[in-house]
Amino acid sequence: MLSLVTCALLTCNTAVGVEVSDFDSIKLYTLKNQNEMVVDITNYGATITSIRVPDRAGNIADVALGYRSVESYINAIDRPYFGSVVGRYGNRIAKGSFILDNNKYTLATNDGQNHLHGGKMGFDKVVWKAEVLEDSVKFSYLARDGEEGYPGNLALSVTYSLTDDNEIVMHYEATTDKPTVVNVTNHTYFNLSGEGATTINDHVLHINASKFTPVDAGLIPTGELRDVAETPFDFRTPKEIGRDLDAHDTQLKYGLGYDHNWVLDRIDDAVELAAMLYEPNSGRVLEVLTTEPALQFYGGNFLDGRLVGKSGKAYQHRSGLCLETQHSPDSPNRPEWPSTVLRPGEKYNTTTVYRFGVK
């Protein structure tokens, strides 16, 4: 078995910096800082497999859902994308097609008739090249022209850094040799009570957005930008995630809960606060900051107890949530929305930060 359990999990080494555990071509990289925060990342899918942070009493817990072995990531049923980088286009593209420069491109469909998170063999299912830097790890992947239907050879990298401010900084860069579309994100599932806890409904969430994009029954945006005011989608004032889940709302019915895109209230193109998550019992806080224009909040609605995590506990309904920084779903088919087109000579350049703390 290609185990992901390393000295980082067994506390046999507490040095600050980067450690590497070698399992043939698949490796595990461990980032540590001076505050006893530890982050494990594998080059299979550029996947965050563990985030260990203290609570207000100093007790350490892993707050990221995931598996104990590489085989579990490779063979996962229902493909939950735990901790992985997803793309070439994260989220959905309607009917698996788009038109760019008068050329129609047909993509792999893996979500009914729609394209989701890069297709049948997205970035979460490939082995990335890794380079260890002084206090970070850089993962690189060349997505070939025609892969999953996308045009252009896309040279992509994501660099993970861990700061002494308990920040996981993810910086993405990409170039292409043909016009293409790019929308890459990280798909970590969080439970600030600790991985394996039963629910995230008691977590308090703030999203810095006054509009969201309603969807149809296939979770494809309708094109409307709807005000969150007086709807269950208003998280401008922090509230418990479970507070409005039972509201009679067509959008909640379509998503089986929250599985929607919020258009962020941004000031400029800098790294800005998109969302804040708080778990009252532990006191843990997660702030999500980004340069991206939107955020997908997914409440773990499809978790149903069939997936067993690294602690040996089954992941029950809504036992983890995702806060995916992104461009809006189906943007290649919505020219009025911020563009996801990347052309030769241009550079895709975006940053997202997960900042942990307590209160």
Phi and psi at residue 133, to the nearest 5° = -105, -175
Using CA of residue 194, residue 199, residue 201, residue 207, what is the dihedral sign? positive
Quick check: 230 and 173 in contact, CB under 8 A? no
Bridge-based pairing of strands 103-106 and 115-116 is unpaired
Is residue 167 part of the annotated active site? The answer reads no
Q: Which of 260, 292, 324, 327 is catalytic?
A: 324
Q: Which tokens sit at 332?
A: 């290649």
44, containing H or E segment: none
Tokens of 119: 């297709």
Task: Identify how many contiguous H helices and E strands the chain contains and give both numbers.
Answer: 3, 28
Cis amide linkage into residue 334, ω under 30° from 0: no
Q: Which of 117, 187, 203, 327 is catalytic?
A: 187
For residue 81, count CB atoms less than 10 angstroms from its CB and return exposed for 0-12, middle for 13-18, buried for 19 or more.
buried
Of 100, 152, 153, 91, the C-alpha closest to 122 is 91
**Residue 187 is among the residues annotated as catalytic for this protein:** yes
Q: What angle do CA 138, 195, 156 make, to 5 degrees?
A: 20
**Residues with catalytic roles:** 187, 324
